[in-house]
Chain A
Amino acid sequence: MGLNDMHAEAVAGIVDRVVARYRRDPTCMLQILREVQEACDWIPPEAIDRLQATLGVPRTKIEGVAGFYAFLDLQPRGRYRVLFSDNITDRMQGSKALMDRLCHSLWIERGKVSEDGLVSVAQTACTGMCDQGPALLVNGLAIPALSEQRIDAIAELIRGKVPLGDWPPEFFRVEDHIRRPDVLLGCTMAPGDALRAARARAPDEGLMASNMRSWREGLPTGLGGPIAVLDEIKRANLRGRGGAGFTTGLKWEACRNAPLKAGQQRIVVCNADEGEPGTFKDRVLLSVQADLVFEGMTVAAYAIGATRGFLYLRGEYRYLLDRLNAVLARRRQANLLGANILGIHGADFDIEIHVGAGAYVCGEESALIESLEGKRGTPRNRPPFPVTNGYLDQPTIVNNVETFAAAALIALNGGDWYAAMGTRHSAGTKVLSVAGDCVRPGVYEYPFGVSVRQVLADCGATDTQAVQVSGPSGICVAENEFDRIIGFEDIPTAGAFTVFDRRRDMFQVARNYVHFFQHESCGFCTPCRVGTSLLRNLMDKLHKGAGSPYDFAEIEKLNHLLQAMSHCGLGHTACNPVLDTIAKFRPAYERRMMQRDFTPAFDLDRALAEARQMTGRDDAGAHLSTETGGQA
C-alpha cells in the first residue's frame, strides 16, 4: 500500500483505531503518534487533522510532540526507513562503508528519500547493539551483525518490496552474549517469590495491620510489610544503577511519605530508555530477566503504596515489546499483577509499557515523565522533584531497570545478604556492557570493586589505550588508571565499558561523542542548544586541519559555559569526552593543531565544492591555490 497515495479516509480509519485503543487519552499522544507512524510509514497531515478532531488537542501541540522525536516523521521518508547506528563502535566495525554500500546499491543519497518514495538511508544514535555491530534499524526494528552479504541481501529485499514480516528472521536475531553472570543475570527465582518473601518478612502485627487496611493508607512507622521492605532496601545500601547513584531507599521513602491529593495515586516508573552510547545491559536484562525487573517494580509499588506502573522502553528496543507484554500478561494471570496481588488486600498494581521514539534526553527522569505524559521530552525545572510531583503531578519514583532487578533480589534474600557483596560504599553487583576492541564483547556482571584491568583481561582486550566508562557522559580511563575500580567511590557507571586499543584515534572518539550530544540536545536551554553545536563545529574545524591554539581556548570556554549554565545533565556532561581526551590524549589533538595562528573555519575552496560537483569538474584549475584558499 503506497502511503503517499493513501486516502484521507484510510488515514482517519487508522487514527481512529489507534486513538480508541488508547481510550482517547491525550497523555498517550506519543504512543498514538508512534503507532500511526508504524501504520502509515509517517505522520501525514491528514492524521494530524484527525487527531486534532478526535483528541481535542490543538495542531500545534501534536506537531510540537511529533517534531521532537527522531523516529517520528512529519515528511515521508519512504516505505523502508533504514537508520544506521552511528556509535563509535559501529564506526570501528565498518558501518560507514556498509552504509555507503547500501546507498550505492539502492542508488540513493544518504539522508534523502529515493525518487520513487521507496526507501531512505540515514544515521541514528547508538542503538544498543555494540557487542554485535554494526547495526541498523529498519522501520524501527533492529538488525545487528551487518556484513557485506547481509547489506546486499537487505538491498535486494528492499528493491523487491518484500514486506518486513517476510524478511529472514535470523536478520532480526539479537544475541544476549552473557559472558559473566552473577546474582542478577544468573538468578533462577520463580516469579512471585520475592513478593512472597517480602510479605513473609513483615512483623506479625504489621501483617495484621496490612491485612486490615489498604497499603495505600500508609502504616505507622516500623509496622507492616511495606515498611519492612523499605528497611531491607535501605539495609542493602542499594544505589541507583542509572548512573547518578542516588540512594534507592531514600527515594522510595520520600515518595511514600509524599502526601496524595484527592484522586491521586503513587507511580512506579522503570527507566528502560537506555540511550547512553555503548550501553546495552538493560536490553539483556529485559531479554532474560524480565520477570525479575517487573517483580522489582511490584516490590517497589508494595513498599511505597503505588498502584500504577510504567516501563519506558527506548524506541530502539521496540522489538522487545511483544515479548514483554506477554510476560506482563502471564504475571496478571498468576495474580502477580492486578488487584489484591497474591491475595494481599489492597495490593493493587499494574504495569503498562510506553515506547520511546528516539530521544536520548528522555533518559533524564523528568524528561522521561514529560514523555510519558505524551509531551516533548524536555527536562523539567526542579524542585519540585518527581518523588513529590512526578507523572501527572503525582508522587513518582523513577528507577533504572537494573535497580528494580536488584530490588527484587533484596526482597527475596534480604538487605544484609545484598550489602555483603561489593565494597563498603558500593553494595551489590554491577552489570557492564563491554564492547569495542576485545575478543568477547557482551554483558559482564561483577561485584562492585572490580578493577578496569580485570574486566579488560576477562573480555580479552589487548594493547588497550583507553576505556570509556559509562559512555560519553562518563569518564575516559587511560592506561595508567587501569587499576582503578568500578564503584561509586571511584568510577561510577551506568554500565557502558567501551574499549579502545592503540590503533584508535582518541580525537575521533571524542568527536563522535560530541556529534552525539549535539544531535540529542533537546534545545530547551540556550547554552546546551547552541553550545553543543558550537562545540561540534570546533571539533570539525580541528578535524579539517584548521585548528589553532585559539580553538583550544574556545573549547575550554564552552566547557565552562555548558557545565555552569545548562538546564540538565546532558549539557553538564557534553564536554566530558573532550576534556578527558584533551587531558589524557593531548597528542591526538596536537597533531591537528596545524595552524599556529587563528584560522577561520570558513574555507573558500571547500565552499566551491558544490559548484565543482554541478559542473562535473575536479581538475587543478577548478581549485583555488592553497595560499588563497586556506589550508589544503
Chain B
Amino acid sequence: MNQHFMLDGRSIPFEEGQTILQAAEHAGVFIPHLCYHPEFKPHGSCKLCTVKVNGRHTASCTMRAVAGMSVESDTEEINAERRALTQMLFVEGNHFCPSCEKSGNCQLQATAYHLGMMSPHFDHFFPNRPVDASHPDVLLDFNRCILCSLCVRASRDVDGKNVFALSGRGIGTHLIVNAKSGRLADTDFALSDKAAQVCPVGVILKKRQGFAVPIGERRYDKAPLGEPVDTTEGR
C-alpha cells in the first residue's frame, strides 16, 4: 500500500489491481453506487459511481487506480449528474417508496436521499411489469428492478444456478428467471441462495417479513448512506 492517488484533494492508498471505488471504500470514502458489490466482479452499468479522472468521466468501479492520478468525486457537478441518473432509474420503473416494503432498506432510496433528490424530475414511463408471487418463500416485484444484475451474478457465480438473467434490449431490457413457464416457483431458487440476499431494491422480497422491522428503524433510517451532499438545486 505504498502507492497513492488523489481523491477530492485527499491522498488515497491502494494496492495493485484495486479499482478507484475499492480503494476509496477501503479508505472510508463513500462513492455512490448501485450495481457494485464488493463480493462480485464489477459490472459498470449503473454509472452512479462515475468520477472524473484527470478531467475525464469514468466509472470508478471498473477503473483501476493508478499512482498519481487525480480523481474528482464529491463535486457539485458530478453529484448533479448522479442525481439525474438516480431520477432516470426512478422514472424508468415504478418506484413508490411510501407503499414499498423495502422502504428504509432500499439502496436506491438511500442514494436518492444522499444525493438530495427531491423529485423524479422526468416524466414517468409507468411500465407494465406483472409481479411473480408463485414461489412459496419469495415475491418478485419487477416494477422496482434497476437491472444492476447483482442477482444474476450471485446466482451464477455463487449459487451455481443461473436462476436469473437479463433479456430484451434497450429500454425493454428485463429480468427473466430460469423456467419455461417464466415463473420463479418452477426454478430451483431457494431462500438460502446468495441471490436472495443481494437485491439493492425491492424486487426480490422475502414473504411474511415485509414489516417485521417497522419503517423508521431500518438500515438506512439508522445509518444513511455517506454524508448528505450539499445541494442547492435539489430537484
* A interface with B by C-beta (< 8 Å): 45, 48-49, 58-61, 63-64, 66-70, 359, 376, 381, 383, 518-527, 529-534, 537, 557, 560-561, 564-567, 600-602
Number of interface residues of B (CB under 8 A): 40
The residue in chain A whose Cβ has the minimal distance to the Cβ of B125 is A533
Given contacts A60-B177, A63-B165, A526-B45, contact A531 B170 (CB under 8 A): no
Known contacts A49-B180, A63-B165, A565-B81; A530 and B47 CB within 8 A of each other: no
B178's partner among A58, A69, A602 (CB-CB below 8 A) is A58
Classify the interface of chain A: helix, strand, loop or mixed.
helix
Q: Does B6 sit at the interface, judged by CB under 8 A?
A: no
What distance in Å separates the Cβ of A6 from its nearest Cβ neighbour in chain B? 17
User: Cα distance A293–B81 when bound, in Å?
Assistant: 44
Q: Is the CB of B47 within 8 A of A567?
A: yes
Give which listed residue, A58, A530, A532, A567, contacts B89 with CB less than 8 A: A530
Which of A58, A64, A557 interacts with B167 by CB under 8 Å? A64
Task: Say yes or no: B47 contacts A534, CB within 8 Å.
Answer: no
B173 to A, closest residue via Cβ: A523
Is B88 close to A, CB under 8 A?
Answer: yes
Q: Which residues of B contact A537 (CB under 8 A)?
A: 123
Q: Quick check: A534 and B122 within 8 Å, CB to CB?
A: yes
24 A-B pairs, CB-CB below 8 angstroms?
Answer: A48-B180, A63-B167, A66-B167, A68-B168, A70-B169, A359-B169, A376-B166, A381-B59, A381-B62, A523-B166, A523-B170, A525-B45, A526-B89, A527-B47, A529-B170, A529-B171, A529-B173, A530-B171, A532-B171, A534-B88, A557-B84, A564-B57, A565-B85, A567-B44
Q: Does the CB pair B44–A533 fall under 8 Å?
A: no
Q: In chain A, what residue has the closest Cβ to B168? A: A67
In B116-148, which residues have CB < 8 Å from any A CB? 122-123, 125, 146-147
Q: Give the residues in chain A near B91, CB-CB below 8 Å.
A: 530
List the B residue with the shortest CB-CB distance to A380.
B44
**A381 and B169 contacting across the interface, CB-CB below 8 Å:** no
- Cβ-defined contact, B170 with A526, below 8 A: no
Whether B167 contacts A68 by the Cβ 8 Å rule is yes
A63 CA to B163 CA, complexed, in Å: 12
Tell me which residues across on chain B come within 8 A of A66, comparing CB atoms: 167
Does B164 sit within 8 A of A, measured CB to CB? yes
Residues of A within 8 Å of B44, CB to CB, are: 381, 525, 567
**Would you call B162 and A60 a contact (CB within 8 A)?**
yes
Q: Are A522 and B166 in contact (CB under 8 A)?
A: no
**Closest CB in chain A relative to B166 CB, distance in Å:** 6
B50 within 8 A of A: yes
Contacts of B168 in A (CB 8 A): 67-68, 523
A63, A519, A531: the one within 8 Å of B176 (CB): A63
- Per-residue CB proximity of B208-231 to A under 8 Å, as 1/0? 000000000000000000000000
Determine if B46 is an interface residue (Cβ-Cβ < 8 Å). Answer: yes
CB neighbours (8 Å) of A59 from chain B are 178-180
Q: Are A520 and B170 in contact (CB under 8 A)?
A: yes
B42 and A565: CB pair below 8 A?
no
| CA A67 to CA B88, docked complex, whole Å | 23
B47 touches A565 (CB 8 A): yes
Residues of B with C-beta under 8 A to A560: 81
Closest 6 CB pairs of A and B: A67-B167, A60-B165, A523-B173, A58-B162, A530-B88, A64-B165
Residue of A nearest to B41 (CB): A381
Cα–Cα distance between A383 and B168 once the two chains are bound (Å):
26
Asked whether, in the complex, the Cβ of B123 is within 8 Å of the Cβ of A601, the reply is yes
Residues of A within 8 A of B88 (CB): 526-527, 530-531, 534
A383 vs B64: C-alpha distance in the bound complex, in angstroms? 9
The residue on A at minimum CB distance from B56 is A564
Determine which residue in A58, A381, A565, A566 has the highest number of CB atoms from chain B within 10 A of its CB, and name it.
A565
The proximity string for B residues 54-95 relative to A, scoring 1 for CB distances below 8 Å and 0 otherwise, is: 000101001010000000000000000100110011011000
User: How far, in whole Å, are A70 and B48 apart by their CA atoms in the complex?
Assistant: 29
Q: Which of B146, B167, B168, B176 has the most CB of A within 10 A?
A: B167
Q: Is B38 engaged at the interface, CB distance under 8 Å to the other chain?
A: no
Q: How far is the CB of B149 from chain A (nearest CB, A)?
A: 9
Q: Which of these, A49, A68, A359, A533, contacts B171 with CB under 8 Å?
A: A533
B172 contacts the other chain (CB 8 A): yes
* Smallest Cβ-Cβ distance to B91: which chain A residue: A530
Write the nearest CB–CB distance from A515 to chain B, whole angstroms: 12
Most buried by A among B50, B64, B88, B168: B88
CB of A543, distance to nearest CB on chain B (Å): 15
Residues A561 and B84 in contact, CB atoms below 8 Å apart: yes
Considering the complex, give the chain B residue whose CB is closest to the CB of A565: B47
Q: Is the CB of B164 within 8 A of A564?
A: no
Minimum C-beta distance from A570 to chain B (A)? 10
**Nearest Cβ on chain B to A138's Cβ, whole angstroms:** 22
Say how far B153's CB is from chain A's closest CB, in angstroms.
12
For the complex, give the distance between the alpha carbons of A63 and B169 in Å.
12
Distance, CA A60 to CA B149, complexed state (A): 13
For residue B146, which residue of chain A has the nearest CB? Answer: A526
Evaluate contact between A526 and B123: CB separation under 8 angstroms: no
CA separation between A521 and B169, bound complex, in Å?
Answer: 7
Chain A nearest CB: distance from B45 CB in Å? Answer: 5
CB-based nearest A residue for B82: A565
* Residues of A close to B81: CB separation below 8 A: 560-561, 564-565
Q: How far is the CA of A492 from the CA of B146 in the complex (A)?
A: 37
CB nearest neighbor in A for B90: A530
Complex Cα distance, B168 from A293, in Å, reads: 34
**Which residue of A is nearest B78, CB measured?**
A564
Complex CA distance for A198 and B110, rounded to whole angstroms: 62
Whether the pair A521, B166 counts as a contact (CB closer than 8 A) is no
Q: Does the CB pair A526–B166 fall under 8 Å? A: no
A-side contacts of B84, CB under 8 Å: 557, 561
Bound complex: CA A531 to CA B45 (Å): 14
Question: In this complex, which of A60, A383, A561 has the most chain B Cβ atoms within 10 angstroms of its Cβ?
Answer: A60
